[in-house]
Structure 1
Amino acid sequence: MEHFEYVLKILPPMLEGWKVTLTLFFLTLVMSLPLGTVMGIARLSHFKPLAWFMEFYVWLFRGTPLLLQLLFIYFGLMTVGIRLERFPAAVLAFVLNYAAYIAEIIRAGIQSIDKGQYEAADVLGLTRFQTMTNIILPQVFKRVIPPIGNEVINLVKDSALIYVLAISELLRVAKTAVMRDETFVPFIIAAVFYLFMTAIVQQFFKWVEHKFDYYR
């Protein structure tokens, strides 16, 4: 009974922290998916400077820790006179990081499409833009659902990293409660929240895969 009363007591602040986590999650997802798609296409551009720049961008953001990118965007930009609030800085870091991973997934997906389809589209007189939007990308999206699903699950867990910017997200609220009350219960509650989120994401992507499975 005592534990139940304690859970009820700390649940409101943890729900507030969860709201911050969900906001970061959805903003990152909504912005990084289209941005990463455009970047993935740009990586295969015939305009070499653009392709080289995108290759460098992907290498940079995939090759350095997200935690370091968070610190650089918030504290590093401050040294050159650009001051962002903590949460917008976190969103920017997450979007730039996850866009790089999605770009690489989209790039690999495009290159997995048989070249004969490009040739057939050329015979039909389709432009490169029409070929990409009407023929290639629909097939690419079907193929990249599993790896993108994995990245979205990683996003759920990576959202905890914003504690370094002193943002009261779910894990930081739980850690504060643990240190204040000297009990492990808040961490267990936080784990339940994260497991719930990842379960929803997994079920959603299973449903999407099922919808795009033409040969079931």
Structure 2
Amino acid sequence: MNTSIPKASPLARLALAIALVLGLFAVGSLVVPGQAQALEVTQCTAAPNEDGGNQILGGAETRITWRGQAAEDESVSSIVLTMPEGLQFDADGVKVTGLDELDRVELNAQITIPGDGTMHIDFPEPAPAGLSFLVETYGATFPTEGGTFTVSTQITDADGTVSDLGPSSEIQVAGLSKSEQISSWLEGQEWVQAWNSNRFLHMFFDPTLIVTSIPSVAQGWVTALGIVIIAFPLAIVVGFLLALLRMSKLLPLRAIASLYVNIVRGTPMFLQIYIAFFGLPLLGVNVDNFALGCIVMALNSCAYLCEIFRAGIQSINKGQFEAARSLGMSAPQTMLSVIIPQAFRNVIPTMTNELITLYKDTSLLAAVGIMETVMYAKTITAATGNITPYIVAALFYLVVTLPMTAITRRMETGSTKKSSKKGKGLFGKSSSSDKGSWTPATDGTSTKLEVKQPDYF
């Protein structure tokens, strides 16, 4: 008689497998002893040391705060902190505090710095179990190049068991630029400290701030130059067209040009900037700040250039216009080939003065938030409470204005010498052919000097 063993159902086999796994886990828990809960690092941070910011900068002193919480049944006898590579710190700047909830516990910790980048904190007697440890390192300085840093922790409990807790959370440190490194070096120089001990010198000519302000203000200086490079050529074109309109025979054209020139020249540029930057958005017209700044500066400068060009054109002797017409040249040809080239040469010094004025007036754009020279200086001054950045900004203006002023003076001197030479005849006497000359009648009759504006159009 054959007997057969019934096969187990799939559900029964699954239950058997689960029971087997649970049994093995229970046996393993009896064989392998449970590890005691080690100290937990709850905080590892560095205090921001950026002036007016929240960054952690390398090369400048900061405070590193490390906090660890021991288990309820864990008594710690020593803590070894492996500090970030390149960190400069001293045992005198380390403070160790024990905290039992809100109560401070005196630990009498002995701190040693072997010089290998570690900090050894030893307790004469093991700390009470479950204690929280606070280690503050004052005057610590991260490497100037910055980077990402961690603090590794190793503890020894009362039984002599050593536990390696590994690295802490990362500390992001911003590197110092070359100017900031130089400034940091200057701060330690005795002559700089003596210089800054004088309140006036420190407030207006702080060497450390001069070094750090130059790169930032230079960015605004480039912006100001960009505005001038775009606005001045545009102002030349519009100003010249306005000058032609002001000399036109047509009354409406003269009236429109005169009205525009008088309004622009009769109102402050600061007011014009405010109208453009705050009035246009109210009308739904939104223009990029840089582009709008260029437009406002150009529209203001063209009114002054209009009068410069008009005076230059009217300074040309009317006889040259008539001579060109007698040679068969049309009025436009005469203007383009004869009158305008001479007029431009005559007004170059005055145009240069207007260019200098336009460059200096870019500082007014700081009032509407354009990051030009003054705006960068203003930002640094607000963060440091020192006027030195404004002095640096003034130097950037002088770098451009002083050479241009010297060039203008030389051009004016050269123009005067040429005019005096042209006005001299034989034996140094004034020539009767001098433009604009007038000779009274020699027959005793009275004469009347009549001055007429050249009729070019």
Please confirm whether the aligned pair reaches a TM-score higher than 0.5, indicating the same fold: yes
2:267: which partner in 1? 64
Choose between structure 1 and 2: higher strand proportion. Answer: 2
In the alignment, which of 359, 367, 383 is matched to residue 180 of structure 1?
383
- Of the three residues 68, 93, 111, the one matched with 2:296 is 93
CA separation of 1:161/1:63 partners in 2, compared to 1, >3 Å: closer, same or farther?
same
Structure 1 counterpart of 2:334? 131
* Structure-1-length-normalised TM-score: 0.91
Q: CA deviation at 1:212?
A: 6.9
**More helix per residue: 1 or 2?**
1
| Residue 211 (structure 1) shift | 8.0
Q: Provide the rounded CA distance (Å) in 2 between the counterparts of 1:118 and 1:214.
A: 25
Task: Give SS of 2:281's match.
Answer: helix
Is 1:32 aligned to 2:215, yes or no?
no
Matches within 5 A, 1:105-116: 105-116=308-319
For the pair 1:119 / 2:322, whether they are aligned, the reply is: yes
Supply the distance in 1 between the matched residues of 2:284 and 2:349 (Cα, whole angstroms). 41
* TM-score, L = length of structure 2: 0.45
The range that moved more, 174-183 or 100-109, is 174-183
Q: In the alignment, which residue of structure 2 is the partner of 1:78?
A: 281
Are the equivalent residues in 2 in contact too, given 1:70–1:89 (CA < 8 A)? no
Asked whether the equivalents of residues 223 and 371 of structure 2 are also in contact (C-alpha less than 8 Å), the reply is yes
Map of 2:216 onto structure 1: 13
SS at 1:125 equivalent:
coil
Unaligned runs of 5+ residues in structure 1 are none
1:45-71 residue CA offsets vs partner (Å, 9 max, x unmatched): 223222211111111111111111111
Q: Does 1:171 align with 2:378?
A: no
Alpha-carbon contact 1:73-1:93 (below 8 Å) kept:
yes
Could you tell me how far apart the structure 2 residues matched to 1:138 and 1:180 are? 51
Name which structure has the greater RCO, CA cutoff 8 Å, separation 6+.
1
Question: More displaced, 199-208 or 54-63?
Answer: 199-208
Aligned length: 216
Aligned to 2:348: 145
Kept after mapping to 2: 8 A contact 1:28/1:95: yes
> Quick one: distance in 2 between partners of 1:208 and 1:167?
34
- Distance in 2 between the 1:110 and 1:7 partners? 47
Secondary structure of the structure 2 residue equivalent to 1:113? coil
